[in-house]
Structure formats: C-alpha cells, structure tokens
Amino acid sequence: MANRLNLDKLNTFNNKVKTPKYKRSQISAGILHFGIGNFHRAHQAVYLDELFSLDDSCANADHQWGIIGASVRDADMHIHQKLEAQDWLTTVVELESDTISSRITGSMIDYIQPGDTDGILSILSNPEIRIVSMTITEGGYFIDNATGEFNPDDPEIIWDANHIDTPKTVFGLILAGLIMRREQDIAPFTIMSCDNLSGNGYVTANAVIGLASLVEIKLAQWIKKSVAFPNSMVDRITPATTENECKLVEHEFEIIDNWPVVCEPFRQWVLEDNFTSGRPALDKVGVTFVDDVTPYESMKINILNGGHAAIAYPAALMDIKTVGQAMANQLVNSYLTKLEYEEIIPSITSIENVSFTDYFEQVKTRFSNPSVGDTIKRICYDGSNRQPKFILPSVESNLKSGHKIKGLALVSAFWCRYCAGFTETGIRFLPNDPIWDRLQISARAAKNKPKIFLQLNNVFGSLINNSTYVEEFHNALKTIWIEGTEQTLKMYVSNKL
C-alpha cells in the first residue's frame, strides 16, 4: 500500500528506496537556493543529501549546509505547496533502459513562501547562510544577447535600483542581503550559479555588481573585492515532472510524492574552489574542484547543450516527441554525429587527459536512453536565449579559425523554420519562447528573405555582417523550405547540402 511522502513515513517505505541516513533535526541551514526546480533537486540537493549521509568523523561539520529554498515568482506557489505537504522531501528516480532506482532526499529543510520578500531578506542577513546558489535558467541573468553583457536598462533592474529595500528580482534580493550584511559587519556569502551558462560565475558577478553600481559605486567596489562568484559546470538530464512520473513513483516504490524527479543516472559537477566563507566538503561525494572550470564548461555547453539544440528543431519539425526517439532516428543520429565531429568538437580548446570523443559518445548514449523520456518540446524551449549560448559561440570560433560552419548554420536554420510555427505535417507549435511572437513574424518573413531572421540582433549580433555565415544560413534555410526537413538532413549527411 502506498504512503504519502513525509518525515513520519520515512521508515515505512520498502527497501527499494534509499532514505536519508541522518535526522532532519541534525541539519542546519547554510545555503539559500533560488529556483527549486527539477534540475536543482536532482543535482545540488542530491550531492548534499549524499554528503549528509556519510558516516565519517567530519560529517557533523557538513550538516551545517542544509538548503533553504526561495523563489521570486508567484507562479511557484504551487511548488511550495506541494513540497510543504511532504516536509520538503523529494523522491529522485534514476532511469536506465533496464534498471530503475530511487532515493528520498532531505537536504532542503525549508522553503520561503514565494513573494515573502521580508522572509528572504531575513535569511540572507543570517550569518549562518554562507552560500547563495541559484538555478534560474539561462534567460534569468538580464543579459543583452547581442553584446553578451549585463543589461542595466532592463525595466526590472531599473526598478530594483530605485527600490533596493523592496527588490523584485533575484539579484535585487541578493544585493539587498549584501547591503544588510555590510551594514551589520557580517561576512558576505558566496554567490554560486548552477545554471548552464558559459562563465556562469562571471555572468552572475556582472549582474550583481552591475546592479550595485546603479545603487552606489562604493557598494559595487566592495562586492567586487569581497564576494566570491565561483564558476561551475553542472550536468544531469532532468525532464519535467508530469502525472506519469507521479504514477511511476507510486507504482514502483509505493510512494505518493506530489512532485518527484525522474532523471538519468549520470551527473557531474565541476566547481571552482573559490568561496568567501567556507564550503561543504562536496569533493567527498564526487564534485570536482578545480582552479579554472572554463575548459570543462566549454566542453559541456558546446557538445551536450549544443547537441541538444541541434537535434531539437529538426526532430520537432518531423513530429518526434522525445530525445530518445530522435536518437533512434538514423538521420537525426547521423546528423548530430557529423556535426559534432566536424564542427563542434574542433571548436573547443583541449583539456589535458580528457577525450572529447569519449565524452561525446557518452552524451550520445545518454541522449539515447529511452527511459528518461526527455521531451523535444523541453529542449526546444527558449531558443532565443539558448542559440547565442550553445550554438553561436562555436560558429564564431570556427569563423575565426577558418573552419567549416555549414552544419552549425543548419542548426539555426532549423530553429528559424521551427519558429514559423508548424511541423512538416502542419501541426501548430504552441508558443515556446519569451519572444515567440517576434520570432514567428521574422521566421515567416525569412522564408523568402532569410537575412531577415538574422536581423534579430539580440540573438545573432554581428553575425549578420559576416558574409560567409549569411550565405550558409541562407542556403540552409532555403533548402529546408524547398526540400523539407528529412531530405535536408539526408543532403547534409551525404555532403550534398
């Protein structure tokens, strides 16, 4: 008989489920985390749960790094309610083709109700909070995609700069917390991004310091001198939760979980060892600490995230629903393989003792896992933010080196065709980007004049002025409209495009 997930029921679940080896009362808060989504609960929360469960002489010291969740979006209230009903516990299920396993994590010990600004600021001013981490998606950092820099003219940033006592954004809250700590002579916390961004620590620093400079130059200088912003590379494929995942957990493990997480077994976290006021001993549970994470994040963002972006749009156009199904399609699989080996991998700076070939083959295996059920719709989302981060850096690198860009231009051309709003069979796509209306207008106009799409300056920047790229994009998009997605893939794979 299934039981609802909560602290009182932890000892009642069957032995197929790993449960925390520590008591919740043993854990105190040391981390405030913004963005309690599936990735965080399958990644950072799992690493900390494993650390708290270690049976060694230093374990008690690491029990001071429990997580308090936070959100600035009223839309996250349902998440708060679901997790509150189960004492902030989460069932994390790992799926492979022929195996399934699960664990219940207890590393999050509280979650501030969305919209409770005073509550968040109270926690941020608590000296026990020594790390503020975040998974707020690639589009949450107020970046001008055309320049790659922090955008101080965003209306939300302007509001926070003028109302720093009652901020609305994550960065406004963080800055307000730092101001309070400076005034009270409390050491600042480390600010740690766990989002898939190249140089995510630098990007986070630019946002916090950029906002601070609008409030007070001396404040910005103090933050630049006193606060750590470690870069990191994070990795785990974690699809969205639906009713199917809830039913799976109830059927397989007899647990009624309001919001479980299903993910692949693989996970990775490479993190710069740069912290203002200490850190948990995550190296004990598989986190790799390095002096410079840049080569690792470049490998991951280009090969894995770039690979996701490459297969997403042609698969969507051919009515393919999941990543596993896309990889089972020989044309899509061959297209990804050719693109990676000929254009993406050559654009990345080498890492000593790391084989990009081996890494990509592992990525292909992970993408092909049919049990995870990662959707094409999910990886199509927010292309206007993801293309400049996952695809266009490889384009720019190859243009500088004189390397080919035909396949990379094809990736963006498939995205453009997707933004026209319908599949090859005429099925309409629901809006899937923050600027969907603008993208759709440009994409439809680009059918006859491809260069119109490249005029999206916040995406393509100066590439519109590169004749080589413009020509390749033009040829790719024209071919897709005339020949169709499947035939275009055949032409690319056979070197006839």
DSSP string, 4-70: E-SGGGGGGS-TTEE--SS-GGG--EEEEEE---HHHHHTHHHHHHHHHH--STTHHHHTT-EEEEE
3-state secondary structure of 402: coil
What pLDDT, on the 0 to 100 scale, is given for residue 57? 45
405, 354 contact by CB (below 8 A): no
pLDDT at 56: 64
Distance CA 255, CA 247 (A): 9
Unique residue bearing structure tokens 């990191």: 232
d(CA 142, CA 154): 7
- Amino acid 197: pLDDT: 87
Q: How far is CA 433 from CA 173, 321, 389, in A?
A: 26, 18, 15
Is the separation of the CB atoms in 72 and 170 below 8 Å? yes
Phi, psi at 77, each rounded to 5°: -60, -35
pTM confidence score: 0.85
Q: Do residues 240 and 261 lie in contact, with contact meaning Cβ atoms separated by under 8 Å? A: no
Q: What is the pLDDT of residue 59?
A: 54
Q: Which domains does the chain have, with CATH numbers?
A: 3-290 (3.40.50.720), 294-493 (1.10.1040.10)
Q: Split the chain (497 residues) into runs of 10 and give each run's mean pLDDT.
A: 93 91 94 97 98 74 94 92 97 91 97 96 98 94 84 96 97 98 97 93 97 98 98 94 95 96 96 96 96 93 96 98 96 98 95 94 94 91 94 96 97 98 96 96 97 95 96 98 98 96
How far is it, in rounded angstroms, from Cα 13 to Cα 256?
Answer: 11
Place of tokens 């266009």: 392
For 151-215, where are the E strands, in sequence order? 190-193
Give the contacts of 471 (CB within 8 A, at least 6 positions apart): none
Task: State which amino acid sits at residue 266.
Answer: F
What's the pLDDT at 148? 79
